[in-house]
Amino acid sequence: MNIGPDKSAPDPAKGVFASDCCTDTTIRLLKSGSSASIKLAPVALRVRYVPKSESRTDPKDQVITQDLVDVLAGREIARFIASQRLGSPRLNAGQNLAVVLVQEFDAALSAPGHKEHIWSINWRVETNPGKPDDYVGYEAWGLFTRVNGALKPFHLAARESWSSGENSNYFYVLATGDLDGDGIDEMVVREMVFEGEEDLVQLWAWERGMPVTISKIP
Q: What is the pTM of this model?
A: 0.89
The answer on pLDDT for 34 being more than 90 is: no
pLDDT, residue 169, reads: 74
Residues whose CB falls within 8 Å of the CB of residue 130, separated by 6 or more in sequence, listed in order: 163
Give Cβ neighbours of residue 95 (< 8 Å, ≥ 6 apart). Answer: none
Q: How confident is the model at residue 168 (pLDDT cuts 50, 70, 90)?
A: low
User: 10 Å Cβ neighbour count for 213?
Assistant: 10
Average pLDDT of span 7-27: 83
Q: How confident is the model at residue 56 (pLDDT cuts 50, 70, 90)?
A: low
Q: Residue 92: pLDDT above 80?
A: yes
For the chain, how many residues are written?
A: 218
- Closest-CA residue to 139 (of 71, 72, 206): 72
- Burial (Cβ within 10 Å: 0-12, 13-18, ≥19) of residue 104: middle
Report, as an integer, the average pLDDT of 165-188.
87
**Confidence check: pLDDT of 136 > 70:** yes
For 35, other C-beta atoms within 10 Å of its C-beta total 5
